[in-house]
Amino acid sequence: MENKEKIYASDDLANHIEKADASYTAHNIQVLEGLEAVRKRPGMYIGTTSEAGLHHLVWEIVDNAIDEALAGFCDEIVVSLHRDGSVSVTDNGRGMPVDVVEKTGKSAVETIFTVLHAGGKFGEGDVYKVSGGLHGVGAAVVNALSEWLEVNVYKDGGEYFLRFEKGGHTVGEIARVGDAKQNGTKVTFKPDPLVFLDTQTFNYQTICERLKQMAFLNRGIKIKIKDLRGEEVKKETFYYEGGIIQYVQDINKGKTPIQESVIYCEGSEEIEFNGRKAHVIIETAMQYTTSYNNYLYTFCNNINTREGGMHEAGFKMAINREINKYARMIKALKDGDENFSTEDVLEGLTAIVSVKHPNPQYEGQTKSKLGNSEVRRITSQIVGDQLARFLLENPTEAKSIIDKIKLAAEARVAARMARETVRRKDGLDFTTLPGKLADCSSRHPEECELFIVEGNSAGGSAKNGRNRETQAILPLRGKILNVQKAQEKRIYENAEIGNLIQAIGAGIDEEFDVSKIRYHKVIIMTDADVDGSHIRVLLLTFFNRFMRPLIEHGHVYIAQPPLYKIEYRGKQYYCYNDAQLEETRNQLDLRAGYPIQRYKGLGEMDAVQLRDTTMDPKTRKLLKVTIDDVVIADQVFEDLMGENVEPRREFINENALFVRNLDI
């Protein structure tokens, strides 16, 4: 690998560790206090100790390997999942420094894994350290939350080893344990079951998705995963020479592109950061398809900036400006014509905007909005210049793009009229409630629940079984429109969707205001059969596209009606899945062939049964719908509900074993 400027050095480390005491003991105490703080309040450092937090530990170590790759010293990263529940991450970089840091009296390796934010202290002047976002917390946090952690460093012909136990207590000192031909670092850790109470099992699919994203965002880095836990080893390699160009192609694989090439723009600008020169690097890739949706995903330092920010603003400014300029030049827009709106220009566009910034400032509700104002100008300039050039040099593709946008603009006018008509006709002013809604009497949204129920007969049971004060029922007649395929105009004309919007009462799309929702729980209650699953996915597709904050704020739930009922000695036992059925059978010691009722639909239950099993907060089980990664969520919806059949088939084949996930 090319040997670029030396970025980290042990002396730097020594200089930058604040408060580190010259006295060995004092330092030790401080270190242990730091790690103890992490163990006491893990949520503060990794967000949660549920499955997402568990995986966060892996991202943290992978981020460090990516940093070494971005610095130009590493091109392969391997993640291995072991049988004992541990995971290892290996890179082929320079190997972490093993020499002693004067101020701490410990090796750089030990310091990095025991001093909170020690890695961050390097950040000053370290222009390549880009990975990590809101929870870019450093290796010491991973160590603190592990039952044990081992570091192997391969460097200068030797292999060095250091082990930590019980939340970061060093076992011995770093020592040379053998010879090594190549350089690199391996970090292996086992998450502490005392911290991760819900689950300690890594999800292969989740890790694959994230590593794939990392490989797209950092072209040329080979990222491998090996799952050694099962009978057969599962392996995958993610490697994209084309980086985000291939990312766009991957997102578009189920869609129909209207242009052949993916338009790629890149550039960088020097800025001063902490008295040192650093670079802001901008990369964008985009391609139009026949879709009515837009898929614009933005990243800063490999983290999805869900709330957008300055890079997104700059990108939108640039495409709006250049497309309108070009449309006027080729007379697709005449002198008196209005400009295309940003919404028109975005329709059918799939785009990735990826920024690498040495000092990102995050804002917004979830701290996922990039706030550095210079990024808007830099992005707008780079994208504007290069897009203008693309349009001039590729007139045929440019013409298809302009034609598509023109259609979008015409459709937008039609949609606006349809929206207005619906508003006038049905009073879509969010104050009139739909006739079919059996509303609750409470006016405190925090305690109110809306059950969206499939079919009128189930709707009847639900109305009779509900708590009238806090539970509202909206029966759906048949299937709602598939919004993934439909044109905006048709969406506003659809009666069932109109009812949903009115009942929830917080608007739709850009105008959706989550603070106005009338119910804090919106509960999808459908039959446990194929049709029920379909309706559920249609509703989730709608929420994902038009009311995403409703999901993001945790207001969307899925009711879980029981699948089976056993009547035994005058008592009723409800089972929600096959495993539970088996367990109950065993517990009651039922003979083979003992009659069991299998529920096919909600309509088979009377009001009392439905209340007791599915609606009563004291006894029911609800699944909360969450979106970990919006890019992946969109992709799943597109695969399931989009135009093309092939990705749907592929998705169902790949996920046949994960039907529960698919259902959520």
Tell me which residues touch ligand 0R9 (CB under 6 A): 6-9, 13, 61, 64-65, 68, 89-91, 93-97, 108, 112, 119, 122, 185, 187
Residues 6+ away with beta carbon under 8 Å from 220 = 75, 239, 240, 241, 243
Residue 326 CB-half CA count within 13 A: 29
**What is the nearest approach in angstroms of ligand 0R9 to the Cβ of residue 139?**
6
**What is the nearest approach in angstroms of ligand 0R9 to the Cβ of residue 121?**
9
Residue with tokens 């901008």: 282
- Cα separation, 368 vs 372, in Å, equals 12
- Cα separation, 595 vs 632, in Å, equals 43
- The structure tokens listed for 540 are 């989730």
- Cα separation, 473 vs 390, in Å, equals 53
Q: Identify which of residues 90 and 354 has a Cβ nearer to ligand 0R9 in the complex.
A: 90
Q: Identify which of residues 89 and 214 has a Cβ nearer to ligand 0R9 in the complex.
A: 89
Is residue 445 within 8 A of residue 520, CB to CB? The reply is yes
Q: Identify which of residues 117 and 553 has a Cβ nearer to ligand 0R9 in the complex.
A: 117
**What is the nearest approach in angstroms of ligand 0R9 to the Cβ of residue 34?**
16
DSSP string, 413-437: HHHHHHHHHHHHHH-TTTTSPPTT-
- Cα separation, 419 vs 414, in Å, equals 9
Angle ∠(224,228,234) on CA atoms, nearest 5: 55
- Cα separation, 464 vs 409, in Å, equals 47
Q: Identify which of residues 99 and 337 has a Cβ nearer to ligand 0R9 in the complex.
A: 99
Residue closest to ligand 0R9 when measured from CB atoms: 8
Q: Identify which of residues 6 and 649 has a Cβ nearer to ligand 0R9 in the complex.
A: 6
CA nearest to 644, candidates 286, 252, 249, 250: 252
**What is the nearest approach in angstroms of ligand 0R9 to the Cβ of residue 229?**
20
**What is the nearest approach in angstroms of ligand 0R9 to the Cβ of residue 195?**
21
CA nearest to 354, candidates 262, 401, 286: 286
3-state DSSP assignment of residue 500: helix
3-state DSSP assignment of residue 146: strand
243: phi > 0 → left, psi -120 to 50 → alpha, else beta; which?
A: left
Is residue 405 within 8 A of residue 345, CB to CB? The reply is yes
Q: Identify which of residues 109 and 332 has a Cβ nearer to ligand 0R9 in the complex.
A: 109
Q: Identify which of residues 98 and 286 has a Cβ nearer to ligand 0R9 in the complex.
A: 98
- Cα separation, 2 vs 146, in Å, equals 35
Angle ∠(7,11,16) on CA atoms, nearest 5: 85
**What is the nearest approach in angstroms of ligand 0R9 to the Cβ of residue 381?**
33
Is residue 320 within 8 A of residue 382, CB to CB? The reply is no
**What is the nearest approach in angstroms of ligand 0R9 to the Cβ of residue 44?**
22
- Cα separation, 120 vs 101, in Å, equals 16
DSSP string, 609-651: HHIIIII-TTT--EEEP--S-HHHHHHHHHHHHSS-HHHHHHH
**What is the nearest approach in angstroms of ligand 0R9 to the Cβ of residue 177?**
17
Angle ∠(46,52,56) on CA atoms, nearest 5: 50
**What is the nearest approach in angstroms of ligand 0R9 to the Cβ of residue 276?**
16
Residue with tokens 């991202």: 59
3-state DSSP assignment of residue 524: strand
3-state DSSP assignment of residue 609: helix
Q: Identify which of residues 13 and 303 has a Cβ nearer to ligand 0R9 in the complex.
A: 13
Q: Identify which of residues 68 and 283 has a Cβ nearer to ligand 0R9 in the complex.
A: 68
Q: Identify which of residues 93 and 136 has a Cβ nearer to ligand 0R9 in the complex.
A: 93
- The structure tokens listed for 464 are 């009779």
**What is the nearest approach in angstroms of ligand 0R9 to the Cβ of residue 299?**
21
CA 241 to chain centre: 24
**What is the nearest approach in angstroms of ligand 0R9 to the Cβ of residue 111?**
7
CA nearest to 168, candidates 212, 94, 109: 109
Quote the DSSP letter at residue 585: H
CA 16 to chain centre: 34
Q: Identify which of residues 274 and 661 has a Cβ nearer to ligand 0R9 in the complex.
A: 274
Helices (H) and strands (E) in the chain, counts: 23, 25
Catalytic residues: 454, 527, 529, 531
Is residue 154 within 8 A of residue 183, CB to CB? The reply is yes
